[in-house]
Structure 1
Amino acid sequence: MISFFRKVRQKLLTENRVTRYLVYAIGEIFLVVIGILIALQINNANEASKARRSEQIVLKNLIQDLREDSLSFSENLTTLTKINNLHQALYEIGVKGIDSEIENPNLIRLLIYYNPIATKNDPFVADKLSNESVRKEVNTYARYLKDLDVTYTEYAELLENRVRVYLADNKTHQLSSWFENNNNSGKGESPFDFVDKERLILLSKTPEFQQLLLETSIKTKNTEFNIKTVLAQNHRLKEVILKELTK
């Protein structure tokens, strides 16, 4: 092609057709520019396709993390409901004198397993997304998680530094139930009572424990509320991502 254009130019110059040569030269430049523009457009399309595939991978990884978080948060809510029920029973027994049933006294010292992974695996995931709606929902989810982090930290510190210490100081633990049981993995709810139920009932009638029970109940319910908020946003974000992936 280049050889053909060269021959045409030489022929026009030889025949001294300057005007036609200039017209031809301009046309040749125009064709070169068009070729460059087409090449750039193809290259941009390829780059856009690569970026789209890369973004889809990010979204698929994110939605998998969100599903893991959703399962974990749902388990947390189930456990927190049981803990709140225990708090209510201890209040009814200790303050109102009602003979309420205590199913699992160990819950008084149980701390939920909290380890969300979505957005924490990739803190800058929102910056990798081109869709403004998805990016907005991701940032909202991250903001709600930060609020939950604060609430959970306060809840955990109260439980670890005050509740457990108080129970230990008042000799509420049954060491034999723990050390002589083969299922003492320490994870989740224990299938046996290593917190003395009768001792816990006696403590529930003291002002010191009642004050601690109030503070613990407040922190527990605040944590529960924020988990529900995060879980609702988790579902919302998954819907937005799935909609984006199906485009």
Structure 2
Amino acid sequence: MIKFFRKIRQKLLQQNKVGSYFKYAIGEILLVVIGILIALSINNWNEAQKAKQSERVVLKNLIQDLRADSLAFNDNLDILSKINNLHQALYEIGVKGMDLEIEDPNLIRRLIYYNPIAIKNDPFVADKISNESIRKEINTYSRYLKDLDITYLEYAELLEKRVRVFLANNKVHQLANWFENKDSRIKEGTPFEFVDKAGLFLLSKSPEFQQLLLEVSIKTKNTASNIETVLIQNQNLKELIQKELKLK
């Protein structure tokens, strides 16, 4: 092709057709420019397609993480609800003198498993999303998670450093039930009483324990409330992402 154009230019020069030569040269330049522009357009289109595919993968990974977090948060709420019920029962037993039965005294020292993965797996995920609405909702979700992080850490610190220590100091742990049990794992539905129920009932009448119960009840309910807020935002974000994936 280059040789073909060169022969035409040489022929025009040999025929002393300078004007025609310049017109032809300009036309040839325009053809080259158009070719370059077409090549750039194709390249840009290919890059845009790659970017869309990459963003689609990011969105799919994010929605999987959000679904996993949603399941974990709902489990957390179930456990916190049972813990709150125990706190309420201990208040009514210790302060109001009511004769109540409690199912699982181990819940008094129970700490939920908290390890959200959405956003934390990729802290800069919002920067990889072109949809402004999704970026905004991601940032909101991230902000709510940070608030929950703080609440959870306060709750965990109170439980680990004060409640559990208080229980140990007052000797309400049944060592034999722990060390002689073949499956000594703290989990929902634990079939043995690691915490002595009778000892916990007596402890509930102590003013010192009642004040500690108030504090841990507040932290437990705050944690549950923040989880509920995060779950709502989690659902909003999932719906936006699902809508975006259908459009792409």
TM-score (norm 2): 0.97
Offset of residue 188 of structure 1? 4.4
Structure 1 residues 174-223: Cα deviation after superposition (integer angstroms, max 9, x where no partner): 11111121221234452211111111111111110110000000000000
Partner of 1:238: 238
* Aligned residue number for residue 75 of structure 1: 75
Distance 1:62 1:192 in 2: 40
Partner Cα separation in structure 1 for residue 166 and residue 97 of structure 2? 22
Which residue in 2 is equivalent to 1:84?
A: 84
Question: Aligned equivalents of 2:89 and 2:150: distance in 1?
Answer: 27
Percent identity, aligned pairs only, is 74
SS in 2 for 1:113: coil
8 Å CA contact 1:63, 1:238 repeated in 2: yes
What's 2:164 paired with?
164
Deviation at 1:137, TM superposition (A): 1.1
Separation in 2, partners of 1:191, 1:166: 24
Q: 1: distance between equivalents of 2:224 and 2:203?
A: 25
The aligned runs of 1:96-107 (5 Å cut-off) are 96-107=96-107
Query: Which residue in 2 is equivalent to 1:117?
Result: 117
- 1 CA distance for matches of 2:17 and 2:99? 114
Which residue number corresponds to residue 37 of structure 1?
A: 37
Q: Deviations over 1:212-245 (max 9, x none)?
A: 0000000000000000111111111111111111
Question: Hey, what's the Cα distance between the residues in 2 that align with 1:18 and 1:99?
Answer: 113
Point out where structure 2 has 5 or more consecutive residues left out of the alignment. Answer: none
**For residue 152 of structure 2, what is the aligned residue in structure 1?**
152
Question: Could you tell me how far apart the structure 2 residues matched to 1:136 and 1:187 are?
Answer: 38
Q: TM-score, normalised by structure 1?
A: 0.97
Larger displacement relative to structure 2 (184-193 or 203-212): 184-193
What is the match of residue 57 of structure 1?
A: 57
AA matched with 1:119: I
Q: Distance in 1 between the 2:197 and 2:186 partners?
A: 19
How far apart, in 1, do the equivalents of 2:74 and 2:166 lie? 29
Whole-Å separation in 2 of the counterparts to 1:118 and 1:180: 40
Once residues 215 and 185 of structure 2 are traced to their aligned partners in structure 1, the CA distance between those partners, rounded to angstroms, is 28
Q: Which moved more, 1:189-198 or 1:136-145?
A: 189-198
Which portions of structure 1, spanning 4 or more consecutive aligned residues, are displaced by more than 4 angstroms?
none
Q: Give the root-mean-square deviation of aligned CA atoms.
A: 1.0
Is the Cα contact below 8 Å between 1:80 and 1:224 reproduced in 2?
yes
Once the 2 structures are TM-superposed, how far is the Cα of residue 101 of structure 1 from its aligned partner? Answer: 2.3
